[in-house]
Structure 1
Amino acid sequence: MKADSQSVLDGAAILANAEEIGPLLREHAADVEAARRLTEPVVDALRSTGVFRMAMPATWGGPEVDICRQNEILETLARADASAAWCAMIGSDSGFYSGYIDDAAARSLYPNLDAVTAGWIAPAGILEVCDGGYRLSGRWSFGSGSTHADVIAGGARVVENGAPRLLADGTPEERMAMLPAEQWEVLDTWRPLGLAGSGSHDYTITDAFVPAENTWSFGDSYRSEPLYRWRGMFMVNFFGLPQGVALDACDVATSILGGKVLMPEMVPAKDVPRVRAAVARASAMVGAARSYSYDTVGTFWNVIVAGDEPSFEQRAQLTGLFVHVASECRAAVRLLVDTVGTVAIQDGCSLGRKMRDLDVIAQHVLAKSQIWEWAGGMYFGQDPPFRAL
């Protein structure tokens, strides 16, 4: 069942819809990469699945899909095209972000369950206090999906009377500001080697009024349901992306190698021990990372559902999982690319595109080596500098 503004979908239906549009996403993957943004047929297909409404609350008629199923849905999309899945992940933040502000403001920003959000949480802008809210100015990077977004958000530091406004602990106050997409200017800056179709352009705004009720900070929550209790839950569907890309890479590489003859030996690649070993090893690497991912996310989710506060150890496991899954999936696909050889570097080879996509995913802040340090600190009871973890 495809989504429309009146459809009632659950996680199983959205997953089935995601599987159904796989062939279309594969067909358009090269066009999306060349355009450096999702093309209209791909955006329409994603909207039709209901993926953008995954995190919308049941009280609004949304599916309020649990975080484990969200990873399954995004993994399915990522098997077909990483850029489409990435935009689906970011765009579905609408449901999470709408829970950080009061219901009236949220419904004004998100009148449609399938409304798409884009934006960067880093405080690259300035929110200057004024009557009724703030004046926002700034320029942000990595606005994935900004070319088809309905709402755009940007992190900013709060300034009052020309000076940073401080929190009770003496640190500068930071807030997220959200406004309709038409109030922002999207700049044509996204020219990467991988994940090109995500359209992660810079975007800017100057001296725009933002009502106070359209801003929030981590820790704010107007909903009590499990999906919204943990301040960083909007990031926990990240794992489906590298897993889906790597799973499909295993299939693509096996297919290529099944028909390849190695030169100069002139023997079938599938009969060569080192080729067989590489395929088996890569599959095990992806499978192990995936199993650990679902186990860790599932355990964390159960803690939240029970109404308990995650322990430092549970937070550490989840935090370390970001870089572990991204790096293991990337290493597995690198092994496959090296085994396949020159076929993988040819323009139009999906295995090469998957490698490029994983190289970019691995540069995300959540997949960087510093995350290991933050996770390690949690094992010793130390909070990380990023409050959403």
Structure 2
Amino acid sequence: MNKLPGFGLIERARALAPLIAQEADEIERTRRLTQPVVSALIENGLYRALLPQSLGGAEAPPEIFMQMLEEVAKADASTAWCLGQCSVCAMTAAYLDKDAADQIFNTPPGILAWGAIAHEVQAVPGGYRATARWDFASGSRQASWLGAHVRIIEADGTPRRKPDGSPEVRTILFPATEATMYDVWDVIGLNGTGTDSYSVDNLFIPEKFAALRDEPSALRENGPLYRLATNSVYGLGFAAVSIGVARATLDAAIELARSKTPAGIKAMRENSAVQGQIGRIEGNLRAARAYLYATAREVWTDLTRDSTVTEQHRLALRLATTWTIHQAAAVVDAAYHMAGATAVFRANKFERRFRDMHAIAQQIQARDAHYEDVGKAILSR
């Protein structure tokens, strides 16, 4: 029987969970993934989940990628977030010449990270010149290569445009050693992601390291995975991280309820209000997870059948991922409040998961504006 692409990633992630949980306090303290965790992720091929098979990657279906992140997120949200970010960055290999992709992803450690879309670069003979600074580069402290999504300015000073008139955006890639890093990630949650800033000064980027990402005409890989926009895959990954965080928080609350007897009140496990609350929260979490995975599966089935991603697919993924993150945050809130004063002590990890979850919910993938986009599309039919 043929194995699915990515076979074993979930099992390997689950097997690494004890190590990741053991390192979580140090990850939180140093605001970086620790070397034992990074080495284990590399050795087990988890950073290569979405890398093309032609380059030695798993090229895993989204559902496998999501379950992998869920397992890691149960142990530590920051580790899962960095893994998800850098895994999706690796999808850019599908738009590169093989020698360029080999140089980036098959030279250890082979990790790429980048920040938010911003700035312009100047077109010059043979490539581009960049002087700019970018923010929000999750996973950048482990990366051997960095990237940036930039608009192109021609030699005459005019913006380069696509056939439809919109600005051309390329993803420029360069060794991390060429950049200056800035330690700016002092935040309430996802502390360990090291989501710092970086800059380059008058850096030349050869043409082969400037990808037209998310442009079907530039694709060099035939797999259905690369027909999905990276923003959609980011959404699926980060929603899966939120489910993992919510699952771990609710499990901790359930375990606490089995043993805790608040002063002057009956044992939590015998309290009908607590019993009912756990039942409702459990149902909400299962519903959110089922909806997320069902949507991902439906889109993937359509995609593998005819290789086309429609606007309806994109909207379905956006709605499912945004709603799932919000539902996961509600589950974490409810579990946190159920735990009472116990939840405020760092030793119990409730407060870290509470902070991590609310940092996730502040990210672009959880914007309320996504509901407006979906609602507008529904009303325009």
What TM-score range do you get, normalising by the shorter chain?
Answer: over 0.9
Structure 2, unpaired ranges of 5+: none
Determine if contact 1:312/1:378 at 8 Å carries over to the other structure: no
Hey, what does 1:136 align to over in structure 2?
Answer: 130
**Counterparts of 2:4 and 2:200 in 1: how far apart (Å)?**
35
Within a 5 Å distance, the mapping from 1:1-389 to structure 2 comes to 11-112=6-107, 115-122=110-117, 124-160=118-154, 161-217=156-212, 218-219=214-215, 220-232=218-230, 234-235=233-234, 236-263=236-263, 265-379=264-378
Determine if contact 2:295/2:317 at 8 Å carries over to the other structure: yes
Letter in 1 for 2:202: D
**CA offsets 1:209-248 (integer angstroms, 9 cap, x no match):** 1112211232131111111122335423332201111111
Moved more, 91-100 or 24-33: 91-100
Letter in 2 for 1:282: I
**Counterparts of 2:203 and 2:109 in 1: how far apart (Å)?**
25
Letter in 2 for 1:362: A
**Counterparts of 1:341 and 1:222 in 2: how far apart (Å)?**
54
SS state of the match for residue 139, structure 1? strand
> What RMSD, in angstroms, separates the aligned Cα atoms of the two structures?
2.0
Shift of 1:9: 11
Shift of 1:46: 1.4
Determine if contact 1:177/1:216 at 8 Å carries over to the other structure: yes
**CA offsets 1:86-145 (integer angstroms, 9 cap, x no match):** 1111121353111122222222222248611111241x2321111111001211111111
TM-score (norm 2): 0.92
TM-score (norm 1): 0.91
**Counterparts of 2:379 and 2:121 in 1: how far apart (Å)?**
35
Determine if contact 1:316/1:376 at 8 Å carries over to the other structure: no
**Counterparts of 2:261 and 2:29 in 1: how far apart (Å)?**
31
Determine if contact 2:112/2:147 at 8 Å carries over to the other structure: yes
Shift of 1:61: 2.8
Letter in 2 for 1:165: R
Report the structure, 1 or 2, having the larger helix content.
2
Letter in 1 for 2:227: R
Determine if contact 1:278/1:336 at 8 Å carries over to the other structure: no
Shift of 1:169: 3.4
Determine if contact 2:227/2:308 at 8 Å carries over to the other structure: no
Shift of 1:163: 3.6
Over 3 Å counting, the alpha-carbon distance change for 1:353 and 1:22 in structure 2 is: same
**Counterparts of 1:288 and 1:327 in 2: how far apart (Å)?**
13
Shift of 1:309: 2.1
Structure 1, unpaired ranges of 5+: 1-7, 383-389
Moved more, 184-193 or 303-312: 303-312
